[in-house]
Chain A
Amino acid sequence: MKQAQTHGTPMKYGMAIDLDKCTGCGACMVACMAENNIPFKEDESDKRVSITWMRIFKLTNGKSFPDSDICYLPRPCQHCEGHEGHSPCVSVCPATATDYSRETGIVSQIVTRCFGCRYCMGACPYHARYFNWWDPVWPDGMEKYLSPDVSPRMRGVVEKCSFCFHRYQLAKNKAYLDGERRVPEAAYQTACTQACPAGAIVFGDLNNPEHQVHQIVKPDSNNGNRSRNPKAFRLLERTGTNTKVYYLSSREWVRRAGDNYLAHEKTGQLAKLHH
């Protein structure tokens, strides 16, 4: 007999990132690297072979001095739900190494299952997936700080942001001990959320009205989970990736930069969602 693992409604973990607050300082990137045993090389300046589960993009408004403006956009894995969990990467992985969990809404990546075909990387429009082109090597002595909660990856596999799922696992351990069925909001926060000095990142269960992220985003399940918050937008919403990372900005040009629009279309306009 099959049963849904969830007790009551399933969870759908997601993020709201306030770009008005984000300063592009990079604390989230490094918090992520430190939390998830992310390796580093002597030269990391070629960003196309530099593993950063959380990456900060710099957006410019294209105007010239002194009307120019910039905005930073932190990009973790967007944990696309796509259509019923068939996110771009999950549906293409030939070996079931990446999967979508109906229980948490998290897109998993199991590196020991992955054999490195990199199809998922081609499928991901956010470049949130990274390949281990090299063996991970820590300078002598530095492997001491590696965390046992996240397994270091070997050469030749794809890795990506897991929404610090190991923290959920640990919180769940505690929950069992305390006889709780659900993991409390505060007990499961990602490393980037916790570190962000500007408090720009809010993480939690988008399905749970008590969670702050739900209150900010107010997802509209009848409308492809789009946000009811006028300041909010999602990256490439029109492709139907149906992401769980929402961005907030009071600046129209920033919101427009979040998706592709034809000249005449107005920001936020949405053609029919695919799938």
Chain B
Amino acid sequence: MKVDRRSFLSFVIGGAAGTALSPLPWKLMDDSSIWSQMWPWTPVPPDGEVVYEDSTCTLCPGGCGISVRKVDSRAVKIEGQSGHPVNDGSICILGLSGLQMLYGPTRIKSPMKRIGERGEGKWQKISWDEAFAILTEKLTDIRDKGEAHTVAALAGSDSGTVPALIQRFMAAYGSPNFMRSPSYRDVDELTVKALFGADGRTGFDVENADYVLSFGSGFVDGWGSPVRMFKAASLWKEKDIPVVQVEPRLSNSAAKATRWIPINPGTEADLALGIAAVMVANGIADTGDVSGLSGWENDLLANYEPQKVAQTTGIDAAVIVEVAKGFARADRPLALCGRGKAQTAVSLRETAAVYILNALTGNINQEGGMWAIPEADYIQWPDVATDNLASAGLDQPRLDGAGTGKYTDARYLTNRLADSVNGGGPYPLQVLLVAGANPCHYLPDTQHVKAAFARIPFIVSFSSFQDETAAMADLLMPDHVYLERYEDVPVGAGLVQQMIGLSKPVVSPQFNTRHLGEVLIMTAKAMGGSIADAFPWDDYETCLEETLAEKWDTLMETGVWVRADTDPVAGSIQLAGLDAPAVQAEGDVNSFPLLLVPYDSIQLTSGYMGEAPFMIKAVSDTVIQGTDGFIEINPLTASGVGLGEGDRATLTTPRGEALVRVHLFEGIQPGVLAMVRGLGHTAYDGYLAGKGVNVNELIGPVEDPSTGFDAAWGIRAKLDKA
């Protein structure tokens, strides 16, 4: 018989019926949906035992205690450590993002040497032994030629054992050129010295103040120890404490203040002195703690009477008087200094003026007032026994000229590094060691800085991340990140007590990196002689434990050592620095009718650390859109230039130009443009690189003649429709 179509048809129908009555179609339907619920390419985080490990965050100088949640060996979340004297359980946006840095793809995963052109990004992985060999050979050669002083080191800070080891290494090696990243600390130390006649730093008892007068200090934008300040700001709200914020822009801090007083940019010092004048004139100043007032009183009253100050600052004279009286009559008034996050210096004049204002309330070293206290001095190492080569090198002047000539009081003038390398220095720089710093992103006039770096024959970066400076290096010797290492963390940041935190390894090192302290000790040993002798420790941990001595146990237990009863460096102040000239913005008014001022945001680190993806995700679309960066501008000013919300414009300053988009903001003074600090990275990965504009490329350093520090607070600019 032959199978005709009808038979075939019925075969198919039978098959269909059978299939429908079998589990096949139904299970397939169910399973395919279940498959879509657990797609193999969607990760499934492995479960395990949960433990919390406490440590100290070093992503900013704030010194918060952190508590890291781990699942077996993985760190899965960073939380604030409850009960910690700084942050008591709370944490900031940067601290929360730490794990993205730990596990992030921008980590430098092993030592590497440059094989392509500088900055080209061509690297070759090498062993640590090879890295040590390259470094020691280089350093030995130079030293043997008697040119030890042509080696310089740039660190993020100079406090704590690791920076101390760098300094010690430089001393033993024979170079005077240790530098730290510039910050408000520079001018603070110098002013304390000038006014109190002793070394130390200021501390601000924000928790107990009952009237706060802030000269542009971003107390909720990252000033001081950020989380502590957030808590203080909430405390002020609860206690209904008057908080006066003086700055040209309605910053988040200004919005949190009980009163925002817009001021002409750069005239804060005049206001401070104006207020001082009103206080003195009205006899509501407490001059007990202030010596040398009489000689200055007349000038003060003559030059800073309210009308005059109103002229310069653009603040109504009545307001000045009102604030002065409110401030002076408060029981525990406190004036804050240092713009934004206080990551940059301000002029000596401004700093001194504000500190003296504090003094004139008679609230120095008092509850709720400004304190002047010494740094915790716990690193007691025997002096380095230098050999001849070292001594010779150390006798040389510093590259940045700090400590000599007109810069006698300055310890570091890192802002002058670029100039000296570009030919302004006493001798050429041959090797630069960079640790915990990213000058090629945050030093002012960044292009100029990069040009200088391009001329440095040999650069070694100890950075853990592929940042802009590492990109310029010849040798990468990556450090552990803070969650992988031990480190003492002395906390300044405006605290009124001495405090040391301890970073502990929360996870084992993720990549082939080495602790910088370890690297320094081993390099020293490798170089032998007096250098090796200066580093008697077997390893960094021993060094740390010995150095911290009796504090070690406390730190291992509680993670933090606090000394509350610190004696102030001095009880009264000697007037000084007030005759110093004001620092003006660069550029002439005619060709640059507008003023560009950078502002700080707590959502951007604007420091050594690059922003983690989470932080960038939290940034508003009025700050970045795609890769476009925005500037804030008053609608009046904008319409003057014919610009509307979101329009593209060319922003030009004496130092450079950039394509930006405008965001209309009623909270900014007409004629002033504001751009956020911290964007415009060229290094790191696609989550960060190329987003926005690096404001440091548009603003150059303006030297404060009385200190030598860069005290630029803005720059003249013009804006054209693009």
Q: A residues bordering B, Cβ < 8 Å? A: 18, 20-21, 23-27, 29-31, 33-35, 37, 40, 42-47, 50, 52, 56, 58, 60, 63-66, 68-72, 112, 135-136, 138-148, 151-156, 194-200
Contacts and interface: CB of A to CB of B under 8 A. Distances in A.
Interface in B35-63: 36-39, 41-48
Given A144-B103, A145-B100, A60 B666 contact: yes
Contacts of A65: 262, 634, 636, 666-670
Contacts of B38: 154
A27 B602 CA distance: 9
Interface in B48-84: 48, 69, 71, 74-80
B615 A30 contact: yes
A218 B39 CA distance: 46
Contacts of B614: 30, 33-34, 40
B353 interface: no
Given A26-B618, A65-B668, A70-B667, A198 B233 contact: yes
Given A42-B686, A146-B45, A31 B234 contact: no
B154 interface: no
A146 B74 CA distance: 9
A208 to B, nearest CB: 22
A152 to B, nearest CB: 6
Contact of B103 (A25, A27, A145): A145
Given A144-B74, A144-B103, A145-B99, A112 B42 contact: no
Given A135-B42, A198-B231, A145 B74 contact: yes
A26 B602 contact: yes
Contacts of A199: 90, 231, 234
B71 A197 contact: no
A68 B668 CA distance: 9
A21 B104 contact: no
Nearest to B685: A139
Contacts of A37: 45
B92 interface: yes
Nearest to A51: B617
Contacts of A33: 614, 617
Ranked 9 nearest A-B pairs via Cβ: A197-B230, A68-B666, A26-B618, A146-B45, A44-B617, A23-B220, A148-B47, A197-B90, A145-B99
Given A43-B626, A64-B666, A65-B670, A23 B618 contact: no
Interface string B337-355: 0000000000000000000
Contacts of B220: 23, 25, 198
Interface stretch (B123-131, B249-257, B379-387, B487-495): B249-257
Nearest to A151: B44
B271 interface: no
Contact of B93 (A27, A63, A112, A153): A27
Given A65-B666, A145-B77, A148-B48, A154 B42 contact: yes
Contacts of B622: 58
Contact of B96 (A30, A40, A44, A45): A30
Contacts of A197: 80, 87, 90-92, 226-227, 230-231
Given A70-B255, A138-B43, A40 B617 contact: yes
Given A33-B614, A141-B105, A25 B626 contact: no
A148 B46 contact: yes
Interface centre among B226, B227, B230 (most CB of A within 10 A): B230
Nearest to A35: B77
B234 A135 contact: no
B625 interface: yes
Given A21-B237, A198-B231, A199-B231, A141 B77 contact: no
Contacts of B80: 194-195, 197
Interface in B236-257: 237, 250, 252, 255-256
B616 interface: yes
A152 B44 contact: yes
Contacts of A152: 42-45
Contacts of A196: 90
Nearest to B262: A66
8 contacts: A24-B252, A34-B96, A42-B687, A68-B250, A70-B252, A152-B45, A154-B38, A199-B231
Interface of A is mostly: loop
Identify the interface centre among A21, A37, A143, A154: most chain B CB within 10 Å of its CB: A21
Contacts of A146: 43, 45, 76
Nearest to B69: A147
A71 B666 CA distance: 13
B250 A195 contact: no
B42 A136 contact: yes
Interface in B504-535: 510
B621 interface: yes
Given A71-B255, A147-B76, A142 B104 contact: yes
Contacts of A44: 613, 616-617
A194 B69 CA distance: 14
A64 B620 contact: no
A195 to B, nearest CB: 5
A40 B89 CA distance: 26
Interface string B105-134: 100000000000000000000000000000
B393 interface: no
Contacts of B227: 197
Nearest to B106: A139
Contacts of A138: 43
Nearest to B603: A26
B104 A141 contact: yes
A135 B687 contact: no
A143 B669 CA distance: 45
Contacts of B626: 43, 45
Contacts of B92: 25, 27, 197
B260 interface: yes
A97 to B, nearest CB: 12
B164 to A, nearest CB: 31
A128 to B, nearest CB: 17
B635 interface: yes
A64 B635 CA distance: 9
Given A40-B617, A135-B42, A197-B231, A30 B103 contact: no
Given A148-B48, A197-B227, A40 B613 contact: yes
Interface string B604-631: 0000000001111111111011100000
B136 interface: no
Given A139-B613, A148-B46, A197-B230, 5 more contacts: A20-B237, A25-B92, A135-B39, A143-B43, A152-B42
Nearest to B80: A195
Contacts of B650: none
Given A26-B602, A147-B77, A141 B103 contact: yes
Interface in B244-280: 250, 252, 255-256, 260, 262
